[in-house]
Every structure is written in structure tokens, then in C-alpha cells.
């Protein structure tokens, strides 16, 4: 992944969605240490910390996720002799985010948003009679605050 792609993903998929954070912890990959990514982080006043080289435990959550990915999707890709890992990424991420973790007994989605998502396979149509009347945006905002 190039530095341009990393910077674009940080801005489009992370900062615009969640807002910039205070610290970015990354490995020592050249894409993260590039002038472009460094400049984006400097402009947004984000402190960039690098993991120790060749010390996988330093970034253990990422390594654990990668291990789970390999056990799930990696085996499927090998069985199909496929390189189309990108086709499996979002379905796998949804499954991962909606599976309770042993230590917390909660899903990552629930810990992030405070509720469980509607699963794609459990969606039931709602009859027009059962729908709630429209709510004013200000009322809705005061409810979710």
C-alpha cells in the first residue's frame, strides 16, 4: 500500500468518519513514515508513535486481528486458490465487529456505538402502519445525546 493510499484512507475512512485522534500508533512501514503521511498528521496535530521493530507484541491487537483474518479468510482463499481477498474484507469485518469477544463478552460494534446492529440476514420488513411518525431533527438529537 503506497503512502498516498494510506493518507487517503486515514482522511476519508477514519478522520471524516470519527474525527482526528490524538495519537497514531503504527508499525515502521515506509508508507506510514512517508513525508505525505507525516505532513497530514502534522497539520491535524496528531502525535505519531512507531512500534518497536521486529517486536510483534508491541502492536498485539493488530497482530491478533491478523491472526483471526488468516484463520478465517486466509484458509478460504487458499482453498479456492484465490487472490481476491478484497471481496472478503467487508463481510469478514462485519462478522468480526459483531462477534462477542471472550474478554469483554461484548462485540466491538457494541463497545463503539452502544447498541447492536441489525444483521443483514435478520432484517424484517416493517409494515407502513407500524412505522413511527417522523421525528424532528432537534428532538432526535436530544434523544441520542
pLDDT, residue 139, reads 76
Predicted TM-score of the model (pTM) = 0.55
Return the domain boundaries, the chain: 3-50, 57-145
Q: Determine contact, residues 73/92, Cβ cutoff 8 Å.
A: yes
User: Using CB atoms within 10 A of its CB, is residue 37 exposed (0-12), middle (13-18) or buried (19+)?
Assistant: buried
Q: How many CA atoms within 13 Å lie on the side-chain side of 80?
A: 11
Kindly report, residue by residue over 81-113, the tens digit of the pLDDT: 888 888 888 888 898 899 998 889 999 999 999
Q: At what angle do helices 60-69 and 86-97 cross, to 10 degrees?
A: 120
Amino acid at each position: 500500500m503506497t503512502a498516498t493510499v494510506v493518507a487517503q484512507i486515514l482522511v476519508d475512512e477514519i478522520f471524516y468518519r470519527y474525527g482526528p485522534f490524538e495519537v497514531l500508533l503504527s508499525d515502521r512501514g515506509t508508507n506510514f513514515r512517508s513525508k505525505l503521511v507525516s505532513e497530514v498528521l502534522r497539520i491535524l496535530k496528531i502525535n505519531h508513535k512507531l512500534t518497536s521493530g521486529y517486536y510483534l507484541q508491541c502492536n498485539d491487537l493488530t497482530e491478533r486481528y491478523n491472526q483471526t483474518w488468516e484463520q478465517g479468510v486466509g484458509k478460504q482463499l487458499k482453498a479456492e486458490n484465490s487472490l481476491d481477498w478484497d471481496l472478503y474484507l467487508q463481510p469478514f469485518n462485519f462478522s468480526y465487529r459483531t462477534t462477542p469477544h471472550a474478554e469483554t463478552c461484548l462485540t466491538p460494534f457494541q463497545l463503539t456505538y452502544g447498541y447492536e446492529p441489525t444483521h443483514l440476514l435478520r432484517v424484517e420488513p416493517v409494515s407502513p402502519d407500524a412505522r413511527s411518525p417522523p421525528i424532528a431533527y432537534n428532538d432526535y438529537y436530544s434523544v441520542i445525546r
